[in-house]
Every structure is written in structure tokens, then in C-alpha cells.
Amino acid sequence: MHRYLNFNNRTLAKTLVLVLVYLIAISCITSEAKTIYATDYYKAWCQSDAEWGSVYLGKSGQNMSQIGCAVTAVAMLVVHSESRSESTFNPGILCEYLSSNGGFDSRGNIYWGVVNGLVNEFTFEKSVTFSGTTQAQKALELHNYMLLGYYAVVSVKYSGHWVAIDSVNGNTVLMMDPATNKNINLFDTYDNDGIAHIKLFKGVASTGAEQKKLGKYITTSDLNLRISSGTYYTKIDLIPEATEVDVVNISGNWGQVFYNGKSGWICLDYAQLISETETTVTTTVTTETLPPTTTIPSTDYKYGEYRVTANSGLYYRSGPGISNTAYGILPYGTLVNVKGIINDWGNISYNSYDAWISLEYAEFIGADETTITTETTNETYPATPIIKGDIDSDGKITIHDLSKLKRYIINPYAIDDVLFNAFDLNSDGVIDLKDSKELTKILTCQQNKEGSTK
């Protein structure tokens, strides 16, 4: 009997050990599965997933499977930024929240900033457009934004689809694509010309290098002044070491300055901040910011030429006041002639519009020495005829003209008849890809001629 009890005890002990080993193994497997899920699974989310593919976007009549790429891309970045985990968040949850809180327009287009109401750690920062045209240029721009701690959703297929950016390594941009649930190179899948717009967000894991600031800098070495923000852009001047310059706009680690009568960009890694600009102007292109209390008396304003100083651009409106209809936005640095003043608003002619701008976001350049016409519907143009294909009106045809033409085709805006003739290279009365191909031919011929003379 005693021997039988010992046998049973030994058998029970072995059984308990086996059960314990089994439980430990299951625990490890489950833990490993959770780890994989937390780091990789969201990158394969697809807008047509059975769990949320039939969820409708507001009152658009369209569901996630049909037009849910933007919602899915944002949801990916919410998890990618460590603002939420897959166990508590997915594209379906985000879509239902947006639908219940005015996050879509009548066609199902997303209002990007509404996401913050559900995930307060994840904020929409701004909308931008690629300034470069090549794959290398666009990859570098995305890399710079990621260094600053941004998370990016990018439009492809000429704004017909949205993808989330995972990482950038050289010219390779890994994307998370809601349409294919694949984590592959952006440029291997989509046409480079159709990759145009970026929506930038910040989340819990947003770190990166300290963002450059507006203000007065001193150059720490001889520094090239370029036409735009990147080493691949043309040099237009050389700024000597120990020169003080005012940085009025920021793009990554590049700053826009005025030097020797030229507007250009310098790399701020080779300049030291002396004093920061006291008044910070928002870079969000979707809003117009006006000071709530302080204003400049209208008696300080003069008739004449002004330069737009708002980094995000300045609305030109149908009347003096922000309640009036906005015709469009004057880009930063645009020169306009003010021919009438009411309070803090100036009357201008632009793109065939008789319009008004807030003079608090423009600087006076000089009095107008020419006679101003009394017909407010007319705008004075240069006597020099516009060259077909000379989009930026600098007297020559370059790759920058092609870049501007492509951007116009992707996202048209108001232009006057003179500029229309410059855009419409084949003179068929329509600005489209045929004009882009025509301009490409002109540039190719120019290159061939230059090559034959060397």
C-alpha cells in the first residue's frame, strides 16, 4: 500500500510538471503572437477587410472597400506612431467615429483634423505639396519630414488614392498601401508624376531633430543660395561666411532668405540662430490666422507695392474682411499693387479679380510711381510677350516650368489669359497632359542642342 502511494505521488508530480511545461510553452507562443501583431499586423490592414469593408463613410453612400484608403492610411499611422494599438483600434473604429462627428464631406472626403477628437495624441499638422519632381527629390523631402517627427499620408494616382509612409532609406520609400496590404516601395508601384500631396501628422512617438525656427541667422561658412529647399536645386548666389540673414520660411532644415535682392533657400545646418522671430506665423495651409487683438492703424498703410509675408499664403477676397468670399491664396512672396485701402485691408487686382487682402500679412515694398488705372477689372501685364512654356515668366524654359505645369494639371487654380497661353503649349484651348508632353519635347530638344555644342 505504501509503495502504491509513492507510485501515485510520483505519477502526479510528473503530470504536474508536464502541465506546467505546456502552460509555459503556450504562454511563450501567445506572447510571441502578440508581439508580431503589435509590430507588423497593422501594416497589412486593407480597406476592403471583411471586418470594416462594408462600413459607410458618413452619408456619402460609399463604403470603406470603395473609398476608404485615406481612413485606412491614417489608422495605420495612428498605430505606427504608438498613439494606439491594434487591440483597441482599427480602420473601422476610426471610420465610425468620423461618420458620427462630421469627419467626412458629402462625397466621403475625410476632414483630416477630426481624427484628433478620437485619438488626442495624434494630431494633423499641415498639408504640403512636393517641391521636387524626381523620385530622389521626393524621397529626400519625406526623409526630412520624418527627421522632424512627422508621419505622412501621401496621395498617388493623381490624388485618386492615399497611402501611409512607413520609412525612407535613400531613394526607397516603403509604404503601407490600403489597396494591396503590401509593405513595398512607393515608386515601384505608382507613377512618380502622380505622387503630389502630403498630409503630415504627429503622434506619441514623434521625436526627431529639433525643428528649425524663424529668425535671424549668421552663416558659419560660405553658403550656397538656391532657388528652392534642396541641394539638387540651382545655385543663384553665394553668401559669405559670417553673413547675417533673416529666415522667413522653413522647410525641414532649409530656410528661405532674401540676399542681394534675391529670394532663395539656404541649408540651416551651416548657419547659427542669433535671435528667434517674436511673432510666429502658422504653417498650416488650411487656415488663415489673424491676430485677435493687436492691429496696425490703417493710417500706416500706403498705396503701392506689397510682398506677401504669411508663410502659408494669404487669401484674396471679394471684399475687406474675413467674412467675404475667398477667391484663392496668394503664395508667400507674391508681389501685388495696393490701389485702395479700407481699415487694414488693401484693394488689389489679381488673376482678373478685383480683390482685397489683409495688409497685416504683407510688407510695403515701395510707393507706386506708375499711374494706376481707374478700371478695377483690368490688370497691368508686362509689355514683353509671354513665351509658350515659360510658366514662371523668367524669360527661359527650364525643368522648373515643367514641374509647375504638372502641378497645375494635378491641382488647377485660377490663372489669367496671358498665363493660360503660356500653359497651353499646343494651343488647343485646354491645359492637360498633352501640354506636359509638348514641354518635355522642348526641354529634350534644348538638352540635345546643348550636348551638340559641347
CATH code reported for the domain at 298-366: 2.30.30.40
Per-residue confidence (pLDDT) for residue 139, from 0 to 100: 92
Q: pLDDT for 348-391, tens place per residue?
A: 988 778 888 988 888 888 765 443 333 333 444 444 456 788 87
If one compares 316 and 92, the residue with the highest pLDDT of the two is: 92
Q: Which residue has the cell 511545461?
A: 21
Topology at the third CATH level for domain 215-274: SH3 type barrels. (2.30.30)
Domains 215-274 and 298-366 share a fold: yes
Altogether, the residues listed in the chain come to a count of: 454
Give the separation between CA 93 and CA 68, rounded to whole angstroms. Answer: 12
Residue boundaries of the structural domains of the chain: 2-39, 42-202, 215-274, 298-366, 399-452
φ, ψ at 184 (rounded to 5°): -130, 175
Per-residue confidence (pLDDT) for residue 211, from 0 to 100: 67
If one compares 142 and 11, the residue with the highest pLDDT of the two is: 142
Is the pLDDT score of 231 beyond 50?
Answer: yes
Q: pLDDT for 10-69, tens place per residue?
A: 666 666 656 665 555 544 444 333 333 345 789 989 999 999 999 999 999 999 999 999
Per-residue confidence (pLDDT) for residue 32, from 0 to 100: 36
At 431, which amino acid appears? Answer: I
Per-residue confidence (pLDDT) for residue 367, from 0 to 100: 65
Give the separation between CA 193 and CA 195, rounded to whole angstroms. Answer: 6
Count Cβ neighbours within 10 Å for each residue of 153-182 and write b for 16 or more, e otherwise.
bbbbbbeebbbbbbebeeeebbbbbbbeee
- Sequence-distant (≥ 6) Cβ neighbours of residue 405 within 8 angstroms: 389, 391, 423, 431, 435, 436, 439
pLDDT > 90: percent of the chain:
25
φ, ψ at 338 (rounded to 5°): -90, 120
Is the pLDDT score of 448 beyond 70?
Answer: no
Is the pLDDT score of 298 beyond 50?
Answer: no
Q: Report CA dihedral (348, 350, 354, 360) to the nearest 10 degrees.
A: -40
If one compares 120 and 25, the residue with the highest pLDDT of the two is: 120
Give the separation between CA 60 and CA 364, rounded to whole angstroms. Answer: 47
Is the pLDDT score of 236 beyond 60?
Answer: yes
Per-residue confidence (pLDDT) for residue 121, from 0 to 100: 82
The rounded mean pLDDT for the chain is 77
Give the separation between CA 131 and CA 384, rounded to whole angstroms. Answer: 28
Per-residue confidence (pLDDT) for residue 230, from 0 to 100: 67
Question: What's this model's pTM, rounded to 2 decimal places?
Answer: 0.44
CB 218, CB 276: distance < 8 Å: no
pLDDT > 70: percent of the chain:
74
Give the separation between CA 417 and CA 164, rounded to whole angstroms. Answer: 38
Average pLDDT over residues 399-411: 76
The CATH label, of 3.90.70, 2.60.98, 1.10.3470, 2.60.120, for the domain at 42-202 is 3.90.70
Query: In what side-by-side order are the strands of the sheet with 340-342?
Result: 326-330, 314-317, 353-358, 345-350, 340-342
CB 348, CB 325: distance < 8 Å: no
Is the pLDDT score of 310 beyond 70?
Answer: yes
Q: pLDDT for 434-445, tens place per residue?
A: 888 888 888 877
Give the separation between CA 441 and CA 436, rounded to whole angstroms. Answer: 9
